[in-house]
């Protein structure tokens, strides 16, 4: 268990609301800035998704033009990946890592602020591209040439610049996370006594540092092809568009794990608290994150089974992709074993945590199916892939994000959430998610191609079900937004440790003071020692009471 001395005769100094609109180097402010910014883009990207699903409710392109549909489709994917999920993971990492390891701030506070302030300009540029000549990029979030070279130069060029800005932000953040975790842990905290969220961010940061520069290189070369007339990827000039695919997917498959690994860590920290049980297989979960990070770098070409990949190379990438299911399965079994027989508190955070396991499991199983060359060729570029992708990243990352959001909301704001509105949010989101994305697997098996506005009339009934689900998903945001406003203004004041958790962030005030801790916290037990003798010590007791109890026990 972890305890920190809290002064009883001095007020904690808190940030002013104006600090959140400035170049502030406090990691907690930056974490909130990332979180609010990412949710702003979540609503924008979600609005684009509603336009897409409204168009697809009928077989004919009768809601928006095909060109505008392509722009919305491209912007939706780009925003949800680069401006929502990735920055949301960075938000939790920025806010929690220093608190979890007992540090006052990040290793490089100014660099941390720079990393954040690269993200809003990238997003604003992306949205402004709708107003340039030719409109926004129309080639999908993958921007494959030669399509990306002929579908509008300036919109595509702005898309490249936007992704480069956000990618640079990710690299700077990853440098900070790794350095902070390795160099700023308090005395007595080794790698095996820090929370699993920190392990997940180590694995995520390694992927970012190794793969993002490759994407940046691909986009710079694509930019040269667009505006300088070179032929790196342009087949009419002797270029090879398949090389772009290799460079793009060397980043963009690891990007799936960059998006999901932080929320693997979130789930590993949420479930034990609300099940009141120690995490099952701490080291297995920690090392499986590193295994996913390594294997994620050698599976990229499974996206290219139909791109002329030689048979022997297909076999390698198929085997590597199937192998990555092993460390992921270790996590699933460990989480299930953690909650099995626990004293479950089915509050909103726990509901989202359990929902994460259920929905991510579906995405994982269909991922194993897609790793098979023969099956992948059959459903490649169909809605089966869309359904799989969204079960992984919306059913997985979004569920994990909301689990973490509701879990740490009292720590970030000093207020408790409204559980009724929180559960309503979960129920609507869970129902809408499954109604939207489950029928897409059947659409893909029947042969409906993705990324098109015009389709065969036989697919219309299933598409209408998907569109109904999308509207329910949109509705789920209503109790979420209401809850945030109600809880922030009228919510019950949160104590220092309302969940009786053992990790260090719960041993300071809610919200934390500017310097995080009044005095350096002290490790008393592991971060997940629920149900052990350590839990007999109430985290809300004063240090003097605990010392007295320890002294009495020693006698």
In angstroms, the CA 156 to CA 52 distance is: 20
**pLDDT at 474 exceeding the cut of 80:** yes
Helix and strand tally (H, E) in the chain?
19, 2
63-113 per-position pLDDT tens digit = 999 999 999 999 999 999 999 999 999 999 999 999 999 999 999 999 999
With a pLDDT cut of 90, the percent of the chain lying above it is 86
272-303 per-position pLDDT tens digit = 999 999 999 999 999 999 999 999 999 999 99
**pLDDT at 431 exceeding the cut of 90:** yes
**pLDDT at 546 exceeding the cut of 60:** no
In angstroms, the CA 9 to CA 16 distance is: 22
Secondary structure element (H or E) that encloses residue 3, with its range: strand 2-3
Strands 2-3 and 522-523, bridge-based pairing: antiparallel
Are 170 and 201 within 8 A, CB to CB? Answer: no
| Domain covering 20-519, topology | Cytochrome C Oxidase; Chain A (1.20.210)
Within 10 angstroms of residue 189's Cβ, the number of other Cβ atoms is 20
Q: What is the pTM (predicted TM-score) of this model? A: 0.92
Quote the pLDDT of residue 169: 97
Quote the pLDDT of residue 252: 93
Distances in whole angstroms, Cα of residue 318 to Cα of each of 122, 233, 312, 369: 35, 26, 10, 10
What the block records as the tokens of 12 is: 């904690």
What the block records as the tokens of 393 is: 């990243």
In angstroms, the CA 408 to CA 411 distance is: 5
Secondary structure letter of residue 506 according to DSSP: G
Quote the pLDDT of residue 20: 87
What the block records as the tokens of 303 is: 């996206």
Cis peptide before 22 (omega within 30 of 0): no
Taking all residues of the chain, what is their mean pLDDT, rounded to a whole number? 91
**DSSP 3-state assignment of 315?**
helix
Quote the pLDDT of residue 148: 94
Quote the pLDDT of residue 131: 94
Q: Give residue 525's pLDDT band: very low, low, confident or very high (50, 70, 90).
A: confident
Q: Give residue 18's pLDDT band: very low, low, confident or very high (50, 70, 90).
A: confident
In angstroms, the CA 18 to CA 37 distance is: 15
In angstroms, the CA 74 to CA 77 distance is: 6
Within 10 angstroms of residue 416's Cβ, the number of other Cβ atoms is 17
125-174 per-position pLDDT tens digit = 999 999 998 899 999 999 999 999 998 899 999 999 999 999 999 999 99
In angstroms, the CA 455 to CA 452 distance is: 7
What the block records as the tokens of 13 is: 């100094």
Return the domain boundaries, the chain. Answer: 20-519
Quote the pLDDT of residue 533: 52
Quote the distance between the C-alpha of residue 40 and its chain's center: 15
What the block records as the tokens of 28 is: 């907690």
446-469 per-position pLDDT tens digit = 999 999 999 999 999 999 999 999
Are 139 and 74 within 8 A, CB to CB? Answer: yes
Quote the pLDDT of residue 13: 67
């Amino acid at each position: 268990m972890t305890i920190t001395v809290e002064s009883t005769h001095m007020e904690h100094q808190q940030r002013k609301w104006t600090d959140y609109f400035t170049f502030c180097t406090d990691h907690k402010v930056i974490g909130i800035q990332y979180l609010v910014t990412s949710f702003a883009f979540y609503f924008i990207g979600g609005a684009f998704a509603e336009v897409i699903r409204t168009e697809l409710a009928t077989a004919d392109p009768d809601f928006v033009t095909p060109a505008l549909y392509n722009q919305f489709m491209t912007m939706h994917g780009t925003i949800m990946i680069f401006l929502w999920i990735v920055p949301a993971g960075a938000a939790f990492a920025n806010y929690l890592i220093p608190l979890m390891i007992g540090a006052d701030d990040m290793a490089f506070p100014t660099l941390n602020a720079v990393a954040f302030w690269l993200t809003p300009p990238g997003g604003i540029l992306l949205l402004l591209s709708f107003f340039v000549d030719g409109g926004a990029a129309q080639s999908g979030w993958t921007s494959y040439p030669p399509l990306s070279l002929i579908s509008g130069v300036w919109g595509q060029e702005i898309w490249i610049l936007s992704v480069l800005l956000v990618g640079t932000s990710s690299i700077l953040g990853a440098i900070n996370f790794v350095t902070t975790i390795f160099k700023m842990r308090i005395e007595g905290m080794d790698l095996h006594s820090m929370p699993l969220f920190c392990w997940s961010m180590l694995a995520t940061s390694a992927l970012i540092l190794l793969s993002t520069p490759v994407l940046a290189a691909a986009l710079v070369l694509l930019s040269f092809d667009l505006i300088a007339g070179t032929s790196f990827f342009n087949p009419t000039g002797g270029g090879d568009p398949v090389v772009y695919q290799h460079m793009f997917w060397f980043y963009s498959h690891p990007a799936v794990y960059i998006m999901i690994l932080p929320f693997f860590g979130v789930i590993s920290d949420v479930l034990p608290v609300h099940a009141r049980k120690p995490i099952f297989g701490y080291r297995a979960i920690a090392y499986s994150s590193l295994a996913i990070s390594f294997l994620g770098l050698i599976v990229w070409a499974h996206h290219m089974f139909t791109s002329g990949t030689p048979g022997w190379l297909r076999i390698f990438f198929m085997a590597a992709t199937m192998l990555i299911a092993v460390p992921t399965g270790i996590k699933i079994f460990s989480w299930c074993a953690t909650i099995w027989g626990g004293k479950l508190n089915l509050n909103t955070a726990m509901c989202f945590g359990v929902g994460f396991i259920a929905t991510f499991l579906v995405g994982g199983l269909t991922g194993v199916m897609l790793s098979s060359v023969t099956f992948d060729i059959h459903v490649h570029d169909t809605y089966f892939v869309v359904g799989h992708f969204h079960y992984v990243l919306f059913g997985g990352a979004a569920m994990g994000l909301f689990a973490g959001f509701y879990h740490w909301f009292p720590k970030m704001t000093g207020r408790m959430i409204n559980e009724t509105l929180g559960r309503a949010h979960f129920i609507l989101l869970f129902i809408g998610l499954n109604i939207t994305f489950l029928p897409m697997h059947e659409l893909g098996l029947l042969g409906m191609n993705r990324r098109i506005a015009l389709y065969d009339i036989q697919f219309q009934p299933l598409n209408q079900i998907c569109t109904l689900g999308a509207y329910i998903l949109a509705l789920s945001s209503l109790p979420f937004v209401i809850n945030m406003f109600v809880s922030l203004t009228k919510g019950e004041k949160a104590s220092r440790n309302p969940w009786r958790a053992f990790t260090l962030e719960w041993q300071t005030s809610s919200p934390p003071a500017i310097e995080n801790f009044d005095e350096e916290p002290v490790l008393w037990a592991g971060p997940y020692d629920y149900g052990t003798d350590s839990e007999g010590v109430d985290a809300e007791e004063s240090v003097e009471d605990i010392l007295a109890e320890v002294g009495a026990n020693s006698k």
